Amino acid sequence: MNDIKQYQKLMRKCLSLAKKGEGKTSPNPLVGCVIFDDDFNIVSVGWHEKYGEFHAERNAILNYKGDLKGKNLIVNLEPCCHYGKTPPCTDIIIESGIKKVVVGMRDVNPIVAGKGIKQLQNSGIEVVEGVLENECKKLNEIFIKNQTEKKPFILIKSAVTLDGKIATKTNSSKWITGERARREVQRIRNLYDAILTSSNTVLSDNPSLTARIKGGKNPVRVVLDRHLKTSPSAKVYNDDGTKVFLFTSQKNNKKYPKNVCVKRVSEDKNGLDLNEIVSELWEEGIRSILVEAGGKLNGAFVKEGLADKLVLFVAPKILGDKKGKSFVEGFDIDDINNSQILDMVSVKRFEPDLMIEAGFKY
């Protein structure tokens, strides 16, 4: 194996270590780090375990109980060079005597952005950049959007039959996908700061919108209810210690549980003003939003150019119901050349279903 292949193998290890922090590092990135010798043997590992705690590089260095002089370090994100919640990683790397640092992607955080790499090089450390860069960027897509645009990353998740329907005309939709796909949805929920849905989904499905995975956290729940049609006793408002934001354009006279924060926003031609809601959530510290709603709300997010990514589960079923519901509505495009275009990211199998991941292009 040549050096590049070896670096790629070690970078895959960094990415899988980084994922151990899923659901615990927001608003910070997922980072994994490996220290290795010149024969590419791993001598120590570390990852960013939780927001506010040590960075991956510091953990990998502190986990090694010997002399690191002449060893090499690989990490999916450029080491930081700033005093934040913890001292700069570049300092501890330089002090340790490590001679080579391999980096997946440059940090997009303006206080680091290439300066970490410069500092390492200025102290005589060899830096190799861009190993599995696309995979590294995909892992931290939320962090990248937050840092570069100061906006939350928005994912639309839906499940359809092979003929593209989310429900029959009578609204029967439980369950389109199988157990494995539903487990993956729980994992995705754990990654996101908030899950957003509409009053229609609350009224028809009464979902609890929690992430039922071991050691996971429940995301903040967000309900868009223009006319305050939902009942305070709906499961989504259940006071389990998780915050719920209820957006409406009406004056509220109902008594919701104390974890529910009712916010009034304006309306535009499509309903509640989604841009206002998204900025309001950003102000509340929400850095990623998972939209789990029906076609109307999904369509509104796409039409406003707000959705970043689509995760679509496709079940090997056919409804053949021409009035069945689609997962995006409200486009009414006559010419195929005017379709909404997406970039295909990946296709995975969660037997018996497929999962398509695609990025929106506006």
Q: Which residues bind Zn ion (CB under 5 A)?
A: 55, 80, 89
User: Would you tell me how many other CB atoms lie within 10 Å of the CB of residue 78?
Assistant: 28
Q: CA end-to-end span of the chain, whole Å? A: 41
- The minimum distance between CB 33 and Zn ion, in angstroms, equals 10
Query: Of Zn ion, ligand AOF, none, which one does residue 77 interact with (CB within 5 to 8 Å by kind)?
Result: ligand AOF
CA distance 58 to 81: 12
Alpha-carbon torsion, ordered 270, 272, 278, 283, to 10 deg: 160
Catalytic residue among 22, 49, 53, 57: 57
Contacts of 75 (CB under 8 A, 6+ apart): 14, 31, 32, 33, 34, 56, 57, 101, 102, 103, 104
- The minimum distance between CB 85 and ligand AOF, in angstroms, equals 4
Is the Cβ of residue 34 or residue 293 nearer to ligand AOF in the bound state? 34
Query: Of ligand AOF, Zn ion, none, which one does residue 76 interact with (CB within 5 to 8 Å by kind)?
Result: none
Is the Cβ of residue 55 or residue 325 nearer to ligand AOF in the bound state? 55
Footprint on this chain of ligand AOF (rule: CB under 6 A): 25, 28-29, 31, 48, 55-56, 77, 80, 84-86, 89, 107, 109, 112
Which of 175, 181, 186, 226 is closest to 208 using CA atoms?
A: 186
Query: Of Zn ion, ligand AOF, none, which one does residue 168 interact with (CB within 5 to 8 Å by kind)?
Result: none
The question of whether 184 is a catalytic residue gets the answer no
Is the Cβ of residue 32 or residue 299 nearer to ligand AOF in the bound state? 32
Contacts of 182 (CB under 8 A, 6+ apart): 175
Complete DSSP assignment for 98-127 = --EEEEEE---STTTTTHHHHHHHHTT-EE
Query: Of Zn ion, ligand AOF, none, which one does residue 28 interact with (CB within 5 to 8 Å by kind)?
Result: ligand AOF
What is the residue type of 42? Answer: I
Q: Which 3 state secondary structure label does DSSP give 154?
A: strand
Is the Cβ of residue 87 or residue 330 nearer to ligand AOF in the bound state? 87
- The minimum distance between CB 26 and ligand AOF, in angstroms, equals 10
Residue 129 contacts residue 103 (beta carbons within 8 Å): yes
- The minimum distance between CB 103 and Zn ion, in angstroms, equals 12
Query: Of Zn ion, ligand AOF, none, which one does residue 112 interact with (CB within 5 to 8 Å by kind)?
Result: ligand AOF
- The minimum distance between CB 35 and Zn ion, in angstroms, equals 15
Point out the residues that are catalytic.
57
